[in-house]
Amino acid sequence: MKEKVLLGMSGGVDSSVSAVLLKEAGFEVIGCTMNLLDEPNEEAIKDAKKVCEKLGIEHHVFDCKKEFRCYVMDTFISEYENARTPNPCVECNQYLKFGMFYDKAKELGCKYIATGHYAKKEYSEKYKQYVLRKSSEEKKDQTYFLYTIPREKVEYIIFPLQDNVSKQDTRRLAEQNGLEIADKKDSQEICFIKDDDYQKFLKEHMKQQPKKGNIVLTTGEILGKHNGLINYTIGQRKGLGISYKEPLYVVALDMHKNQVIVGTEKQLYSSELEAIHLNWIIDVENALQKGLECFAKIRYRAKEAKAKVIKENEKIKVVFQEPQRAITKGQSVVFYDEDGIVLGGGKIK
């Protein structure tokens, strides 16, 4: 009897090719598209259905609008209201794709869930458990967004693209299998924000409109005015509308004083951060007591850097071997061992 797997299908190339690979591997595949928005993505649903029909597999549409609004969109708005910079994909993976979706799979009698993420799941003799590991496709690796997966669920997740060397390979497989979506463009960065205009989205949904305030130097000197904290990010240089004897960057956002604080590039660097809301895929409790030596990644596009992680009650302190540029509150910090295995992660405080 074939094992059943529930595959998340967005109508894109990655999840469609995942369906092909799962079927070739001998699974009984059920495709599912999550309806997340009030205005359904009819094109995504149609494309996913077409692929399922071609492959002869079931396709379901799950209504997840309420949960998506609560866990992803409302959190996104709240974080910006509190002068933090969120990562909605992390929330979506935690609560929707590897939370609600996993529960739906069990209801349908599926042993596994699968997604089109570029990541590896494998059994580790070193840790004596199933682990997440960085994808062979380094530029597309998405383990940074997956650190919230509960340890006990890792065994039941399949990443069909884990051995693909490049996105070109994935598109080639789509073409070889006659899938119409072979040349379909990758989806936009944040699925619920039209034209990537997040400031417009926030202004439409925030309880209070952003207020103007002062742009101040780290010394306290007022250099100009800002038009709302939501329009600025740590590390930003362009668009500040101020002049100074040397280049200045946003180094902090002070919600209580409603100030954008600017400084030199040197002031963007820091050797430490604190993190909360932790999830550990690997049991590192003993190592944390004396200081966990690992590699830490502070944003998706950043390189991992050598660091020591020290437990401090319900939070951790991360001390980097070399200062890191533009550490940003609200983003995630994710920890890896020397083999690219995800140890866990948390939210930068």
CA 43 – CA 285 distance, rounded (Å): 46
> Is 32 among the residues known to form the active site?
no
Pick the closest to residue 246 from 221, 263, 261 (CA basis).
Answer: 263
Sheet of 222-226, strand order: 222-226, 213-217, 259-263, 249-254
**Six-digit token pair at 329?**
């509150």
CA 23 – CA 231 distance, rounded (Å): 46
CA 345 – CA 148 distance, rounded (Å): 7
User: Could you tell me the CA-to-CA distances from 39 to 36, 100, 194 in Å, in that order?
Assistant: 8, 20, 12
Q: Report whether 248 contacts 264 (CB < 8 A).
A: yes
Residues 6+ apart with CB under 8 A from 107: none
CA 255 – CA 233 distance, rounded (Å): 13
Neighbours of 133 (CB within 10 A): 20
Pick the closest to residue 143 from 123, 117, 168, 165 (CA basis).
Answer: 117
CA 133 – CA 127 distance, rounded (Å): 12
End-to-end alpha carbon distance in the chain: 48
Kindly report the CA angle at 303 between 297 and 308, in degrees rounded to 5? Answer: 45
Calculate the CA 106 to chain-centre distance: 24
Catalytic option among 52, 64, 89, 92 = 92
CA 79 – CA 178 distance, rounded (Å): 43
> Is 191 among the residues known to form the active site?
yes
Active site residues: 92, 191
